[in-house]
Amino acid sequence: MRQIMTREKSFYKELARIALPIALQNLITFGLNMLDTVMIGAVGESELAAVGQANQPFFVFTLFLFGIASGSCILISQYWGKGDKRTIGNIMGFSITLATVVALLVTAAVMIFPKQIMKIFINDETVANIGVEYLMVVAPSYVLTAISTTYLSLIRATEQVSVPLKINLISLGTNALLNYIFIYGKLGVPAMGVRGAALATVIARMLELAIVIFLMTRRGAVIRLKWSDFIRMPKLLVKDFFKYSTPVIINETLWGLGISVYAMILGQLGPSAVASYNVVQVLEKLACVALFGISNATIILLGKKIGSGEYSNDTIMVYAKTTMVLSLACGIVFGGILILLRPVIFTIYQLPAETIELAKRMLLVTGSTLFLRSLSNISIVGILRSGGDSNFSLFVDTTGLWLVGIPFGLVSAFVFHASTVVVYASFAAEQFYKSVVCVIRVLSRKWIKNVTR
């Protein structure tokens, strides 16, 4: 019988050392995001729906950033295993420059066409106008986010996982405090509602970027960036960067656009559907913090071991199957917790009873299918990308969303005119498809490749 889980205690210690700070960072991020939805929801259901839909362009943009970072991490984690810090600096600088250029383009589009963008995601005029107010204030934060988020994501690939945690804790804590002051008008500041939430985001991102610039240029940094890293990279390295990063960037961008299509579908069903969806999405992300931690630790740890060239394919496969089992267990446990907490979790929201009841039913769907997401997430984000198998990740993620999930959602909503809960449940067909295909791919071993030069 082939070994399913490794018996090496050192592997579990390494995995926990990397995964726990990442999971804690995500817990803080999503926990404060939930606090945001509670505070904005207290202003009104329309405001909550407006901010949720106004953040859809930013959501797609952050996934583009995640694509750049994840693609770069394929290279960085393996070069880290090889001990080549200079090449890592080249990759980091190039990635940050690319992210900044895209951020400038997105910012310009949002500030020039805010109303047109809002009308894509919501058909309610009042909600759209509130969303425009939010967008016009928050848009400048996109460039700040591009630089800081990309850098913090990349240094995790060098096993510096505590630094991003500390910086995010400072930034998000500042954001939450300023939200309270600006949204409700505390400490002598006039109440600004959604514009206050946007202003708080901008100020918190400015603080985060200031800390990041200090870290990336200071003496003694594990990876100290030079100004030349931002404007010049060896041609062969550029070729490798686009070879392994482009599929991931396309993957994350198309995935983000697809998730926005989900939001657009629900946006046609009314503000209550949108508000419920936004609340449930935050709760789902909270439940997935352990999954995200294991997935990100997997790409770093397996990538390092593959790049070092010191481990056989059999050993790598046992490590991969170990992370799959751990991720699946987390999906089952935290999915169950979501279901059990349904009667009490929504008491913190000041929303209409109809919206709360709808959110409870949607959360039941989320909790019941979380184990499927755990399998697809660990496979695509962690295992396959650690071995440079980004093209297959692009294939399964894109086909699952655009050829399975979205068609199911469109047909249920606009052909059968199903209820909001049924439409939401139809999206889960994507996760079923992806989990089956991903498990088959991982077991094939075709994903294990050393991509260093």
122 or 186, greater pLDDT: 186
Q: What is the pTM of this model?
A: 0.73
Average pLDDT of the residues of the chain: 86
When pLDDT is cut at 50, 70 and 90, the band that residue 263 belongs to is: confident
Please report the pLDDT score of residue 168 as a whole number. Answer: 82
Question: Is the pLDDT assigned to residue 189 strictly greater than 80?
Answer: yes
Reported as a pLDDT band with limits 50, 70 and 90, residue 321 is: very high
What is the per-residue pLDDT across 154-164, written as a single tens digit (0 to 9) for each? 888 888 878 88
Residue 396's pLDDT band (cuts 50, 70, 90): very high
> Residue 117 is which amino acid?
I
Q: What is the mean pLDDT of residues 166-176?
A: 86
Report pLDDT for 451.
76
Tell me the mean pLDDT in the region 184-189.
Answer: 88
pLDDT at 1: 41
Q: What's the CA gap between 271 and 123, in Å, rounded?
A: 9
Q: Which residue has the higher pLDDT, 8 or 49?
A: 8
Weakest-pLDDT range from 27-41, 114-128, 204-218, 347-361: 27-41
Please list the helix, strand and coil fractions of the chain in percent, rounded to the nearest 5, in that order. Answer: 85, 0, 15
What integer pLDDT is reported at residue 239 of this predicted model? 84
Query: Which residues have a Cβ under 8 Å from the Cβ of 68 and sit 6 or more positions away?
Result: 95, 98, 99, 150, 245, 248, 249
Asked whether the predicted pLDDT for residue 151 surpasses 70, the reply is yes
Q: Which residue has the tokens 């990759």?
A: 91
Percent of the chain with pLDDT over 90: 29
Max mean pLDDT range (74-83, 136-145, 324-333):
324-333
Give the C-alpha distances (Å, rounded to integers) separating 183 from 180, 189, 195, 349.
Answer: 6, 9, 7, 16
Q: How far is CA 235 from CA 152, 224, 231, 239, 264, in A?
A: 25, 21, 12, 6, 41
Where does 122-222 have alpha helices with state H?
A: 125-138, 141-155, 162-184, 194-217
Average of per-residue pLDDT across 438-446: 93
More confident residue, 128 or 421: 421
Which residue in 222, 289, 286 sits closest to 22, CA to CA? 289
pLDDT band at 13 (very low <50, low <70, confident <90, very high): very high
CA distances 307 to 73, 74, 76, 319, Å, are 12, 10, 9, 15
| Count of alpha carbons within 13 angstroms of residue 286, beta-carbon side | 18
Q: Which range has the top average pLDDT, 151-160, 193-202, 267-276, 399-408? A: 399-408
Confidence of residue 52 (pLDDT cuts 50, 70, 90): confident
Residue 220: pLDDT band with limits 50, 70, 90: low
Residue 421 has pLDDT above 80, yes or no: yes
41 pLDDT higher than 80: no
pLDDT of 2 higher than 70: no
- Alpha-carbon dihedral 364, 21, 88, 59, rounded to 10 degrees: 30
Residue 397 has pLDDT above 70, yes or no: yes
- Residue 351 has, within 13 A of its CA and on its CB side, a CA count of 31
| Residue range 358-376, pLDDT digits in tens | 999 999 999 999 999 999 9
